[in-house]
Amino acid sequence: SSELTQDPAVSVALGQTVRITCQGDSLRTYYASWYQQKPGQAPVLVIYGKNNRPSGIPDRFSGSSSGNTASLTITGAQAEDEADYHCNSRDNDGIHNYVFGTGTKVTVL
């Protein structure tokens, strides 16, 4: 099965921009989706498809992809954006199999 690799942790100054990456072979074929998870809470979908935001997700969140790497960018990070972020895609083994990334802890300074 495929693996999705993320940096364990990144930090960003308040109001600055941070990019979180997710690498894996399956991303050459399938879109990544991104989830924000705060301590003790369920994940929340923030980006899906090419670069789509569910209703209620601020437009400072955006997604992009190139080759085997998907990225989530937070432009103008806010204190409430401090959280774990997980990427996800279908697995190369089959369209009904899914893999999550290792997760990135984002700290807003």
Partner 1 sequence: QVQLQESGPGLVKPSQTLSLSCSVSGGSISSGDYYWSWIRQPPGKGLEWIGYIYYSGSTYYNPSLKSRVTISVDTSKNQFSLKLRSVTAVDTAVYFCARWRAGARENDGFDIWGQGTMVTVSS
Look at the chain and count its residues: 109
Cα separations (Å) of 77 from 16, 17, 27, 62?
A: 6, 6, 26, 12
Identified binder of partner 1 from the candidate list 74, 86, 106, 108, rule CB under 8 A = 86
- How many binding residues for partner 1 (CB under 8 A)? 28
96 binds partner 1 (CB under 8 A): yes
Give the nearest distance from C-beta 14 to partner 1 in angstroms: 27
Cα separations (Å) of 65 from 78, 107, 108, 109?
A: 23, 23, 24, 27
Contact status, residue 46 vs residue 52, Cβ threshold 8 Å: no
3-state DSSP of 76-95: CCCHHHCEEEEEEEEECCEE
64 binds partner 1 (CB under 8 A): no
Range in contact with partner 1 (rule: CB under 8 A) among 9-17, 18-26, 72-80, 95-103? 95-103
Identified binder of partner 1 from the candidate list 22, 27, 30, 108, rule CB under 8 A = 30
Q: Which residues bind partner 1 (CB under 8 A)?
A: 1, 30-31, 33, 35, 41-45, 48-50, 52, 54, 86, 88-90, 93, 96-103
